[in-house]
Structures are given as structure tokens and as C-alpha cells.
Amino acid sequence: MQFHEYDNAYRSKWDEMTTFKWIILIGGLFWAIFVLSFGLYNYCAIKRPPPAVSFDDALCAREGTKMTATMDVDNLMSRLLNVGMSGGRLTTSVNEQELQTCCTIAKSVFASQASLLEVEPPIIVCGDIHGQYSDLLRIFDKNGFPPDVNFLFLGDYVDRGRQNIETICLMFCFKIKYPENFFMLRGNHECPAINRVYGFYEECNRRYKSTRLWSTFQDSFNWMPLCGLIGSRILCMHGGLSPHLQSLDQLRQLPRPQDPPNPSIGIDLLWADPDQWVKGWQANTRGVSYVFGQDVVADLCAKLDLDLVARAHQVVQDGYEFFASKKMVTIFSAPHYCGQFDNSAATMKVDANMVCTFVMYKPTPKALRKG
């Protein structure tokens, strides 16, 4: 009994101590969980990368609204068009982050499509624009807007003009919203070595105080295709032909992203020129690529089973000019170019039957007065 009484007393004391320890232990455990959870939350908040932001979220962040992607592009286009119509200031209507986002999305669209764009008529083919934003709007006013009308632009959207950013961003918006109706090839001025010198870099830095914006544009330009094929019969590029070009598959396999090396097929597609006084190939006085004769055009059209080669890259008085017995045409879509020429502009309409017609755009009286 004595032992039994001692045992009960011991057990009672042990039970009290054990209960107290368990309370301390459980309390400590909960406290540790709380501390760890709080620390983990702060760690994640600092270290975890932000979730991917959609194009619509990026555009609407400053508005505090949520819209569909289509409406977001519409909103940005509306502001860009308003700048063109009213003469408002771009920097107060569109912020740098919106332009950065626009470039990034456009780059992904270019990357999703082929190096040789194979498109079907009807389609409007346009040449150099060179930042002449009001003249770009004239083209849309005359022909209609996508998706009601399909467009293929042959490059040189920036440099030398006064509104390079408005021009390229509006075109990027159309590319984002209507990727199967609006097509853009790369021109030699969509290369950093050129637009670093001829105005685009200076405009990005002056208007947005940002060289980063200029660099983001270059990332997008590097993904742009270099050539297009309309209805399997009309080959399109910015500059001209290449002595290395033997098949359309070579164009389909052109690597991207890339700033084309010299020499290469890519460089020739951006830089080469026709010359009526040349037979075969000769060095180009531009210091890059070649000039080529009428025989080269005829031979290539026969080899690749083409009816026409459409290119841009050179100012022509009436906005379009044939070469090689109408096997090649140069299209230039910037009237009163640089405020120094009295040239007209032109676009080429390819109808469903592959019949080509040209629309000319005379310099406006206002532009001539400014010149």
C-alpha cells in the first residue's frame, strides 16, 4: 500500500509535469510554424519572380481595369491614331512600358511565323514608309484597314521621318491584332547599325529618354521575316536578289533571330539593287551586297517559277518603277521623301486573280510647303 500510495503520488506529479511540458512544446511548435510561415511569405514576396503579365494587363495597369486583349490593342491603336489625327504628343498618350510590351508581343508574333511568309491574294503591297506617319495613315484611308484589307509591307518603317515611333508601334499593333492579315518584312533600316545613325535611336532617346526602348525594338526587328511569297508567284523582299539564292527552300530556312552577316543571302535581301547598265552581278556602290542586271532577274524568275519580284529600298519618281521587262517592280510608299524630293508614293494591289494594279499618292500641298 505504501508503494501504491507512492506510485499514485509520483504518477500525479508526473502527469502534472508532462501536461505542462506538452503545453510548452505545442505552444513552441505553433510559434515556430508562425515564424517560419511569415519568413517564407516574405522570402517569396521578395525572391519569387512576378507572374507573367498578359498584354491586356500590361496596357491596362495604369487604368486599374481589366479588358480583353483585343480591346487593349484597340485602346493603344486609338491613342496612336489620335496622335496622328490631332497632332497630340505621343509621350503624354503612351508610356514607355506600353511600347516595351508592344514590342515584346510583336516579337512573339514574328517568331511564330515563317521566315518566308507565304500569303494569298488579295493583298496590298507597300514600300518604304520611313517614319512618315501621316502618309501611312493616308494609305489606310485610301485602301481600308485590316482585317478588311490584307497588307504586306516591304520594310524601312523607321529613320529619317519625324514620327518613327508612332509609325512602327501602330504597325506592330496591327500585326498583333491581325497576324494573318497584316504582314511586315524587315528592311535594312530595321538593323541596329543603320537606325543607330539615321534617326531612330535619337528619337527614342529624345522623346522617352530611353536607350533601353531602342534596344527592345532591335530585339523585335531581329525576328522579322526577310521575304514573302504571294500566291506562289510574286516574290517580295526589301532590297533585292542574291547570287547565293538557288531555291525557295533556302528562304524558308533563313535563321532567326539574326542581324544578317555580310556576306549572306539575308544581307542581299536587305541591300541589293537592280541596275539597268549591269549584266550579271557587280559590287554595290553602297558598300554592301551587289547590284544585278536584267538577266539575273529573268534567270531567277525562270528557275523559281515566278511571275514577278517586288522590292522597295529606292526612291522612284512615280512611287513604282518596273525593271527587266516587268519581271521586277520597285515600290516606294513615302511621298515627298525626307521633305527633299518631289516624288509620289505608290502601293501595289494584287487581286484574287493575281492581277496587279498601282495606286499613286501625290505629295500633299502641306508637305510641299514644309519642304
**Active site (catalytic) residues:** 189
Containing 10, the helix (H) or strand (E) segment is helix 2-47
Residue by residue, DSSP assigns 227-256 as: EEEETTTEEEESS---TT---HHHHHT--S
**Pairs from 84-93 (Cβ < 8 Å, separation ≥ 24):** 84/133, 84/134, 84/137, 84/163, 84/166, 84/170, 85/137, 90/163, 90/165, 90/166, 90/207, 91/207, 91/208
Cβ contact 332:239 at 8 Å: no
> For residues 82 and 171, what is the distance between their CA atoms, to the nearest angstrom?
15
CA distance to 88, 251, 267, per residue, from 226 (Å): 34, 8, 9
Compute the CA torsion angle 33, 38, 39, 40 (nearest 10 deg): 80
> For residues 104 and 98, what is the distance between their CA atoms, to the nearest angstrom?
10
> For residues 233 and 183, what is the distance between their CA atoms, to the nearest angstrom?
17
CA distance to 100, 118, 137, per residue, from 211 (Å): 12, 34, 27
Cβ contact 330:323 at 8 Å: yes
Q: Which residues of 223-234 are buried (b: 16+ CB within 10 A; e: fewer)?
A: bbbbbbbbbeeb
List the beta strands (DSSP E) in 51-128: 116-119, 123-126
> For residues 157 and 171, what is the distance between their CA atoms, to the nearest angstrom?
9
> 166 by DSSP, 3-state: which?
helix
Cβ contact 319:346 at 8 Å: yes
